[in-house]
Chains A and B, each alone.
Chain A
C-alpha cells in the first residue's frame, strides 16, 4: 500500500508540470503586454520596452517558461499586478473561504444525495422515488448562478431568512486557527460566530451542491438497484438479517464504491462551480478573486490561481483514488 501511495504521488509531478505548461502558454499567447499593464496608460514606449527587458519578456518562450517554473518550485508565484502583494499570499488568504464552501457543498451533496439515492432505490417507483428523480433532473440542468440568484431573491430579499452575501457578519470572525470559520468557531466554542457563519454559508453551499447532489443521488440509486439484485444480498437475507442491516451494511457499502469516485470527481466540478457561486454570493474565496483578476488582466494572479486550483483538484483526486482502493479490497495496490 505504501509503495502504491508513493508511486501515485510521484506520478503527480508530470501532471502538475503539464498543467503549469498549459496555463503558462495560454496566458502567454492570449494576454496583452504585462509590462504595459503594469505601467498604466501614461507610460512611454521606452519605459515599456525597458520594463520588458527587465522582466525578461524579450527572452525566448522556453527560457521564460523555465524561469517561471523554477520560480514556482521555489514557491514564487510572482506578484499581483493589482495589489502588488505576492500571489501566493493572496491565494492563501482567500483559500480557506473556498475550502470551507467546497467542503460544505460536498458534505451537503454527499449526505443528501446518498440518502435520497438509497431511499429511492429501496422504494423504487414510489412517489418519493418519482419526485426525487425529477428533483435530480432539475438539479443537473439548473445553472448555478440562476439558482443562486433565485435563492437570494426568495430567502434573503423576500423572506429575510438569510444574509444576501459574505461569509460572516462583520466583526464576528472567530479566532484564526484553521481559517475555516465553522471549524474555528466550534474549536473556540464561539457559538455566535458559528451561527453567523452557518447562516451565511447555507445558501451558497446549497447552490453549489445542487448539481453534485443530483448526480450523486442518481448514481447512488442506480448502483443500489444494481447491488440489491446481487446474490450476496440474497445470502444476507437468508442469514436472517434485518432489512435495514441488509440495506446499509451489505448493499450500501458495495454501492458506495462507485459513488465515492463520483463524489471525488464532483470535487473538481465544485472547484469550477465555486468561481460562479462565489461571484453570485460575493463569497471572498479564490474563485471571486480569480474573476476579479481576469477582469483586471492581472495575469500573475490568474496564472497562480489556476495552477493552484488545478493542483488542489489533482491532489483531491489522488486522495479519492486511495480511498477507493481502501474501500474495495479487490483493487490491487500496484
Chain B
C-alpha cells in the first residue's frame, strides 16, 4: 500500500479512574489511504471519540493515557513526537470537527478571527491576509455573504452555519486528514445532507482523507468507502462499505444494520440491540458482545476472539465466523 496515509496498530488508550481502569480503546488497528473516507461506527461509549483524540494526541490526561500501540501518519510516528511537534500537526496536517457545533466555537471571538487564527499560526499569514482567506473559506463552505458573516459572533449563527464555520476552520490549512466526529448528529436532517455533501465536495477539491465517526449507518452508506465497526474499545469488523451492508459477518454489525431507523423515528434511539453496553470497568472475560449476542455459544463467554482476516479487505473478530477462530 504505497498510498497509505494513516496506520493505527494495536492502539491502547486507557482511563485510570479511582475505581479501576477503563480500556476505552483496547488494541484498535486500522489504516487509511490518501483520499479515502473511512467510517468508524459503533454504539455510544465504544471508543470512537477516544480513538480520534488519541490520533490527535489530545486524550484528556489525567485520567486518560495512551498506553500502547503505534500511530503512523505519512510515514511519521505520531506517538514519538514531542508536544511541540504535535502542535505543528494539529489543525495543520490533521484537523478535527466535533459533534457539537453549538459549543465548539469560542463565544467571545468573531468566527473570522477564529478561522484566521489557524492560518496565522500554521501558514505564517498576516492577520489581514488570513481574514481575507477566512472569507474565501466561508464562501467555499456555501455561507451566503461571507464578507459580512466573518464579522459574526458564533451566537449570531444557526447550528448548520456554525458547523460550516467549523469545516472552514478545519480545512483552511488544507490538512491531509480530516477527522469528523459525528459532524451532523446535532443537526436536522436536511442540514445533515448539505453538510455531508459539502465535506465530500471539499474532499474532492483538496484530496483530503476523512475519518468519519458516526453511529448513523445511513450516513456510512452514503459517503464512506470502508467502515470499521467498534464495540467496547475494540474493532469487531472491518469491510468495504458495500460488502458490509450486503454481507455483515459479525452479529453486532447485523444488529446495527437491523436497527437503522426509519425517517419517522426518533433519531436519539438509533440502536435497538437487546441488552446494554457492559460496564467498561468489568468487561466479561470472553467476547464483550457475548452477553447480548443472540448467537453466542458457551466458548464465546470464555475465549476472547481476535480480529482476523477472512477475505481480502475483510476482517472480523468473532469465534462463530469460519476462519475467525482465536
Q: Are A232 and B90 in contact (CB under 8 A)?
A: no
CB contact under 8 A between A232 and B107, given known A238-B58, A240-B88: yes
Complex Cα–Cα for A160 and B98 (A): 60
Q: Shortest CB–CB separation between residue A255 and chain B, in angstroms?
A: 10
- Among the listed stretches B116-124, B221-229, B293-301, which one makes contact with chain A, having 4 or more residues with CB under 8 Å of it? B116-124
Complex Cα–Cα for A250 and B107 (A): 9
- Among the listed stretches A72-80, A84-92, A172-180, A322-330, which one makes contact with chain B, having 4 or more residues with CB under 8 Å of it? A322-330
Closest residue on chain A to residue B57 by CB atoms: A237
Closest residue on chain A to residue B52 by CB atoms: A238
Q: Are B106 and A240 in contact (CB under 8 A)?
A: no
Q: Shortest CB–CB separation between residue B184 and chain A, in angstroms?
A: 16
Q: Are B58 and A234 in contact (CB under 8 A)?
A: yes
Complex Cα–Cα for A299 and B260 (A): 81
CB contact under 8 A between A232 and B121, given known A240-B90, A242-B87, A330-B153: no
Q: Are A232 and B117 in contact (CB under 8 A)?
A: no
Closest residue on chain A to residue B56 by CB atoms: A238
User: Is A235 interfacial (CB-CB < 8 Å)?
Assistant: yes
Q: Shortest CB–CB separation between residue A187 and chain B, in angstroms?
A: 35
Q: Are B108 and A238 in contact (CB under 8 A)?
A: no
Q: Could you pull out 24 A-B pairs where Cβ atoms are within 8 angstroms?
A: A231-B98, A232-B103, A232-B104, A232-B105, A232-B107, A234-B104, A235-B106, A235-B166, A236-B106, A238-B58, A238-B90, A238-B95, A239-B117, A240-B88, A240-B121, A240-B122, A241-B121, A253-B108, A254-B107, A328-B108, A329-B108, A329-B153, A330-B107, A330-B153
Complex Cα–Cα for A239 and B155 (A): 21
User: Is A31 interfacial (CB-CB < 8 Å)?
Assistant: no
User: Is B100 interfacial (CB-CB < 8 Å)?
Assistant: yes
Which of these, B86, B90, B98, contacts A239 with CB under 8 Å?
B90
Complex Cα–Cα for A250 and B58 (A): 17
Complex Cα–Cα for A235 and B104 (A): 6
Complex Cα–Cα for A122 and B173 (A): 29
User: Is B150 interfacial (CB-CB < 8 Å)?
Assistant: no
Which of these, B86, B87, B105, B121, contacts A235 with CB under 8 Å?
B105
Additional A-B contact list (14), CB under 8 Å, known A239-B169, A241-B87: A230-B103, A231-B103, A235-B98, A235-B105, A235-B169, A238-B56, A238-B58, A238-B90, A239-B91, A254-B107, A327-B108, A328-B108, A329-B107, A329-B155
User: Is B92 interfacial (CB-CB < 8 Å)?
Assistant: yes
Closest residue on chain A to residue B102 by CB atoms: A231
Q: Shortest CB–CB separation between residue B7 and chain A, in angstroms?
A: 21
Complex Cα–Cα for A35 and B108 (A): 59
User: Is B96 interfacial (CB-CB < 8 Å)?
Assistant: yes
Q: Are A231 and B107 in contact (CB under 8 A)?
A: no
Q: Are B104 and A237 in contact (CB under 8 A)?
A: no
For window 214-272 of A, CB contacts with B under 8 Å fall at 230-232, 234-242, 250, 253-254, 257
Please name all residues of chain A whose beta carbon is closer than 8 Å to the beta carbon of B273 when the two chains form the complex: none
Complex Cα–Cα for A182 and B142 (A): 56
User: Is B4 interfacial (CB-CB < 8 Å)?
Assistant: no
Complex Cα–Cα for A219 and B239 (A): 52
CB contact under 8 A between A238 and B96, given known A254-B108, A330-B153, A330-B155: yes
Please name all residues of chain A whose beta carbon is closer than 8 Å to the beta carbon of B58 when the two chains form the complex: 234, 237-238
